[in-house]
Homo-oligomer: A and B are copies of this chain.
Amino acid sequence: MTKWVYSFGDAKAEGKSGMKELLGGKGANLAEMSNLGLPVPPGFTITTEACVYYYSNKNTYPAGLKAEVEAALAGVEKITGRKFGSGANPLLVSVRSGARASMPGMMDTVLNLGLNDQTAEALARSANDKRFAYDSYRRFIQMYSNVVLGVDHHNFEDILEDYKDQKGFVLDTDLGADDWIEIVKRYKVRVQEEYGKPFPQDPHEQLWGAIGAVFGSWMNARAVTYRRLHGIPESWGTAVNVQAMVFGNMGEDSATGVAFTRNPSTGKKEFYGEFLVNAQGEDVVAGIRTPQNLTKIAREEAHSDKPSLEEVMPQTFGQLKDIFAKLEKHYADMQDIEFTVEKSKLWMLQTRSGKRTAKASLRIAVEMANEGVITKEQAINRIEAGALDQLLHPTIDPKAERKVIATGLPASPGAASGEIVFSADEAESAKGSGRKVILVRVETSPEDIHGMHAAEGILTTRGGMTSHAAVVARGMGKPCVSGAGSIRIDYGAKTMTVGPVTLKAGDIITIDGAQGQVLAGRVPMIEPELTGEFATLMEWADKVRKLGVRANADTPADAKAARNFGAEGIGLCRTEHMFFDDDRILAVREMILADDVKSRRKALDKLLPAQRSDFIALFETMKGLPVTIRLLDPPLHEFLPHTDKDMAEVAASLGTDVKKLAARKAELSEFNPMLGFRGCRLAIAFPEIAEMQARAIFEAAVHAGKTTGAPVVPEVMVPLITTKAEFDIVKAHIDAMAEAVQAETQTKIEYQVGTMIELPRACLRAEEIAETAEFFSFGTNDLTQTAFGISRDDAAIFLNTYLTKGIIPIDPFVSIDRGGVGELVKIGVERGRKTRPDIKLGICGEHGGDPASVAFCHETGLNYVSCSPFRVPIARLAAAQAALGKDLVSEA
């Protein structure tokens, strides 16, 4: 026979902490604390299975439930020595929800249940406090009528406010016992009017009403939304906890408080928390009275004149101290605790793993491992890899005031302040004169790269999490807020307007890329710290992980950052970013305008030395670590000027006709550039471009091999392959160039030629492609775009709707879509390995820095992931967690 009810209290319990699925988190921990002999007000938990039964059986209770509840209630009466509904010594209970996963504030709670006209009077007597009793009664009526009977809050607020006006009272504390008695009377009249029946006086009727309401709240709109957003299955159901009430508001020897066993903000090993004398739990949260510190030292640090718990209730504090130690050791984690002191008697109301900042998380995990409380592996799994991001960038001082003027997407973490500039050129010249700027654009394009480099941060009014601005900013490790749609930019007037506020170029703003906020003025920052616990944990993670971690890096500065963050190579160097430098773009444009191979080669010859020196610097920085270099990828029109003015200037400097330039631009312009004349299609149409790049790579490899003494094995990557024939054509040009450079330099060059697998067809034909490709790097950005048919640049307008409606659980550009894109990657891996078992397999999309995607890469058996330098630590940790079998997916 199914057991529906589990009792706890009096230092024993039928449940335990391992039974969260059945008892919910709160119920399991109350049982566990009872088992540990801690002072827990007795009570019982109605299982989640009862809730599941309730919903599968047209909102009815299972047969045995009523009897079990009555038996459990009798047990509580026995332990407390009180009687439910008794006119002499009444037992009052709280009725609280408690699901498997924490859903704070989403479901309903009823306190002080059991009060009626009779028991209120009895409570007044037993507590010797009439005001307390009738205040409790009116609170109960208010809460119960709202939660169970569906009578709106405002009814009760109106009555109370009217009464206070009538009496000339201001605060609730102005009301005495008789006032509350009058209020209770008026409340009951209003319930009768609104609900059509009198307020229930039978405590058992009250209890079943509350149990039904808690079950019912599992399906309320807030809870449904919360579950969808957090991926909590509806089928879990909630448990109901019925527990004897204890009161922290029974006088000066009573109190209530919350505490963390370590500092949740810094991770420091110290008690952290606050309490209020003569108060109920809700008062601590409500913030009407200023709570007091737990410890003397905390009080002193806070320069508070209100005594700490340690000082006013030294005995209780001593008891708490022991309990904290016991709980933390027992749960092997920092605990978040609620307690109440009723007439000097300490009661534990809740314990659970405490939420903490990333910084605290790191310190607690490392210290606990060093204390021997947990293993190093547990320490690794304790950190949410994605949260590390907070530690790798400057952030806004949490104590600082935030004047938010607009919000957008949290496109690249970190925060920065600076003068507003509206163009890349202005950003660059401001930087030149030592000023710090935020580049503000409707959207960015590859032409803005120099300005993005120069700026402290980037703000755009259009584009999503994977817009150009976002991707490039993340790559550079600069903060970016994208798609702040409420801002209107007027480039002509050099102003940005949000509602009534207009800011002009030169005004100071701050952006918080982690939260997607735009703030007025300059805001204090905190700098990141990469040593100490961070370094220790990374070291532990590296020992455990199986996946290699490389970085996407286009410049020596990127490469240096990547090495600092522990990258083991470069997984993607996008050569086109090198094409935008002022001294090169002219030659690039000359190349694009060339009428024939000969003049194209002439222009390319001008680019060769620059490309070569780029690669030399990159190879020298990486000192023999592998470097994957992708051949030119974007459509050529991206390199041509956009405005009429720029067109005229460029035409003049190229000594050509604006008309010719315009004609070529028109010829190259595309409806869907993402699906256009780019990638290997360029190398096939204009092999001389690939040849110049290959020559630059090989000449640089020879040079850097000599200067560093570490031989360079460049990995040349051909983008956008869909057929083996394409790959073979481009590879032949690369091989020929390698041979030429070997002959010219009399140096043997080791190298590999591989491809980006970034289109669905490439995954499907991987078996053929691997016949000649020596490595695959999955370009999951483009693979996501094509598998879903979603342009990441255009997705913002509908993707947010998709996320809020729960059509997709997470932005597929942020975390890899296992069901679609993931299957394509798996197909590619399987088929590629079939032909070439030792093929090197990596991923170089944005997903390389996302923990859930890293877990996918680990499972799929890739050799490495490559991500933005600033996400390398995240990838290292996530790879270790994946190797330890942590479930990173459901966490994401």
Interface of A toward B, CB cutoff 8 Å: 667-668, 670-677, 679, 681, 684-685, 720, 722-723, 725-726, 729, 758-761, 764-765, 782, 785-791, 793-794, 797-798, 801-802, 805-808, 817, 819-821, 823-824
A sample of 28 inter-chain contacts (CB < 8 A) reads: A670-B793, A671-B791, A671-B793, A672-B672, A672-B674, A672-B791, A672-B794, A674-B789, A675-B794, A676-B791, A677-B794, A677-B797, A684-B802, A685-B801, A720-B789, A722-B789, A725-B807, A726-B802, A726-B807, A729-B807, A759-B788, A761-B788, A761-B789, A761-B817, A761-B821, A764-B787, A764-B823, A764-B824
Chain B: which residue is nearest A443 at the CB level?
A: B671
| Chain B residues positioned under 8 Å from A785 (CB to CB) | 675
Chain B: which residue is nearest A671 at the CB level?
A: B793
| Chain B residues positioned under 8 Å from A677 (CB to CB) | 794, 797-798
- B759 touching A729, Cβ below 8 Å: no
With most chain B CB atoms within 10 A of its CB, the pick from A672, A764, A789, A817 is A789
| Chain B residues positioned under 8 Å from A787 (CB to CB) | 722, 759-761, 764, 786
Whole-angstrom distance between the alpha carbons of A808 and B721 in the complex? 12
Among B667, B765, B786, B824, which residue has its beta carbon within 8 angstroms of that of A789? B786
Whole-angstrom distance between the alpha carbons of A30 and B760 in the complex? 50
Among B675, B798, B802, which residue has its beta carbon within 8 angstroms of that of A790? B675
- A672 touching B764, Cβ below 8 Å: no
Among B685, B764, B789, which residue has its beta carbon within 8 angstroms of that of A782? B789
Among B673, B726, B823, which residue has its beta carbon within 8 angstroms of that of A671? B673
- B808 touching A723, Cβ below 8 Å: yes
Whole-angstrom distance between the alpha carbons of A109 and B764 in the complex? 44
| Chain B residues positioned under 8 Å from A807 (CB to CB) | 684, 723, 725-726, 729
- B670 touching A789, Cβ below 8 Å: no
Chain B: which residue is nearest A823 at the CB level?
A: B764
Whole-angstrom distance between the alpha carbons of A794 and B669 in the complex? 9
Q: Given A675-B672, A794-B675, does the pair A819, B685 have CB atoms closer than 8 Å?
A: no
| Chain B residues positioned under 8 Å from A765 (CB to CB) | 819-820
Q: Which 8 pairs show the lowest CB-CB distances between chains A and B?
A: A761-B820, A675-B791, A672-B791, A759-B789, A760-B760, A676-B794, A671-B793, A670-B794
- B671 touching A794, Cβ below 8 Å: yes
Whole-angstrom distance between the alpha carbons of A761 and B805 in the complex? 19
Distance between A495 CB and nearest chain B CB, rounded to angstroms: 16
Distance between A21 CB and nearest chain B CB, rounded to angstroms: 27
| Chain B residues positioned under 8 Å from A673 (CB to CB) | 671-672, 794
Whole-angstrom distance between the alpha carbons of A765 and B672 in the complex? 26
| Chain B residues positioned under 8 Å from A824 (CB to CB) | 760, 764
Q: Given A677-B794, A722-B820, 19 other A-B contacts at CB below 8 A?
A: A667-B797, A671-B674, A672-B791, A674-B791, A675-B785, A675-B789, A675-B790, A676-B794, A681-B798, A684-B801, A684-B807, A685-B797, A720-B789, A723-B808, A725-B806, A729-B805, A760-B760, A760-B786, A761-B788
Whole-angstrom distance between the alpha carbons of A805 and B807 in the complex? 43
| Chain B residues positioned under 8 Å from A794 (CB to CB) | 670-673, 675-677
- B805 touching A684, Cβ below 8 Å: yes
Q: Given A681-B798, A820-B764, does the pair A788, B729 have CB atoms closer than 8 Å?
A: no
Distance between A762 CB and nearest chain B CB, rounded to angstroms: 9
Distance between A706 CB and nearest chain B CB, rounded to angstroms: 38
Chain B: which residue is nearest A725 at the CB level?
A: B807
Distance between A284 CB and nearest chain B CB, rounded to angstroms: 41
Whole-angstrom distance between the alpha carbons of A807 and B726 in the complex? 6
Distance between A551 CB and nearest chain B CB, rounded to angstroms: 25
Distance between A231 CB and nearest chain B CB, rounded to angstroms: 14
Chain B: which residue is nearest A635 at the CB level?
A: B794
With most chain B CB atoms within 10 A of its CB, the pick from A667, A671, A765, A805 is A671
| Chain B residues positioned under 8 Å from A806 (CB to CB) | 725
Whole-angstrom distance between the alpha carbons of A714 and B383 in the complex? 55
Chain B: which residue is nearest A488 at the CB level?
A: B663
Whole-angstrom distance between the alpha carbons of A729 and B787 in the complex? 21
| Chain B residues positioned under 8 Å from A671 (CB to CB) | 672-674, 791, 793-794
Chain B: which residue is nearest A793 at the CB level?
A: B671
| Chain B residues positioned under 8 Å from A672 (CB to CB) | 671-675, 791, 793-794
Whole-angstrom distance between the alpha carbons of A480 and B236 in the complex? 61
Among B726, B729, B820, which residue has its beta carbon within 8 angstroms of that of A760? B820
Whole-angstrom distance between the alpha carbons of A788 and B726 in the complex? 12
With most chain B CB atoms within 10 A of its CB, the pick from A677, A722, A765 is A722
Chain B: which residue is nearest A786 at the CB level?
A: B786
Whole-angstrom distance between the alpha carbons of A653 and B720 in the complex? 46
Distance between A761 CB and nearest chain B CB, rounded to angstroms: 4
Whole-angstrom distance between the alpha carbons of A723 and B805 in the complex? 13
Whole-angstrom distance between the alpha carbons of A791 and B681 in the complex? 13
Distance between A283 CB and nearest chain B CB, rounded to angstroms: 43
| Chain B residues positioned under 8 Å from A684 (CB to CB) | 798, 801-802, 805, 807
| Chain B residues positioned under 8 Å from A720 (CB to CB) | 789
Distance between A701 CB and nearest chain B CB, rounded to angstroms: 29
With most chain B CB atoms within 10 A of its CB, the pick from A681, A720, A725 is A681
Distance between A454 CB and nearest chain B CB, rounded to angstroms: 25
| Chain B residues positioned under 8 Å from A805 (CB to CB) | 684, 725, 729
| Chain B residues positioned under 8 Å from A788 (CB to CB) | 722, 759, 761
Distance between A483 CB and nearest chain B CB, rounded to angstroms: 12
Among B674, B725, B820, which residue has its beta carbon within 8 angstroms of that of A808? B725
Distance between A401 CB and nearest chain B CB, rounded to angstroms: 33
Whole-angstrom distance between the alpha carbons of A759 and B784 in the complex? 11
Chain B: which residue is nearest A467 at the CB level?
A: B671
Whole-angstrom distance between the alpha carbons of A764 and B807 in the complex? 17
Distance between A697 CB and nearest chain B CB, rounded to angstroms: 24
Chain B: which residue is nearest A758 at the CB level?
A: B789
Whole-angstrom distance between the alpha carbons of A764 and B805 in the complex? 22
Whole-angstrom distance between the alpha carbons of A758 and B667 in the complex? 29
Chain B: which residue is nearest A674 at the CB level?
A: B672
Chain B: which residue is nearest A682 at the CB level?
A: B798
| Chain B residues positioned under 8 Å from A820 (CB to CB) | 722, 760-761, 764-765
Distance between A798 CB and nearest chain B CB, rounded to angstroms: 5
Whole-angstrom distance between the alpha carbons of A577 and B819 in the complex? 34
| Chain B residues positioned under 8 Å from A758 (CB to CB) | 789
Whole-angstrom distance between the alpha carbons of A782 and B790 in the complex? 12
Whole-angstrom distance between the alpha carbons of A616 and B765 in the complex? 46
| Chain B residues positioned under 8 Å from A817 (CB to CB) | 761
| Chain B residues positioned under 8 Å from A821 (CB to CB) | 761
| Chain B residues positioned under 8 Å from A802 (CB to CB) | 684, 726
Distance between A333 CB and nearest chain B CB, rounded to angstroms: 36
Whole-angstrom distance between the alpha carbons of A720 and B790 in the complex? 10
| Chain B residues positioned under 8 Å from A797 (CB to CB) | 667-668, 677, 685
Distance between A634 CB and nearest chain B CB, rounded to angstroms: 12
Distance between A290 CB and nearest chain B CB, rounded to angstroms: 45
Chain B: which residue is nearest A796 at the CB level?
A: B677
| Chain B residues positioned under 8 Å from A789 (CB to CB) | 674-675, 679, 720, 722, 758-759, 761, 782, 786
| Chain B residues positioned under 8 Å from A726 (CB to CB) | 802, 807
- A819 touching B764, Cβ below 8 Å: yes
Distance between A68 CB and nearest chain B CB, rounded to angstroms: 39
| Chain B residues positioned under 8 Å from A761 (CB to CB) | 787-789, 817, 819-821
Whole-angstrom distance between the alpha carbons of A117 and B787 in the complex? 73
Chain B: which residue is nearest A668 at the CB level?
A: B797
- B791 touching A685, Cβ below 8 Å: no
Whole-angstrom distance between the alpha carbons of A553 and B802 in the complex? 32
Distance between A639 CB and nearest chain B CB, rounded to angstroms: 16
Chain B: which residue is nearest A822 at the CB level?
A: B764
Distance between A114 CB and nearest chain B CB, rounded to angstroms: 45
Whole-angstrom distance between the alpha carbons of A791 and B673 in the complex? 8
Whole-angstrom distance between the alpha carbons of A759 and B791 in the complex? 13
Distance between A443 CB and nearest chain B CB, rounded to angstroms: 9
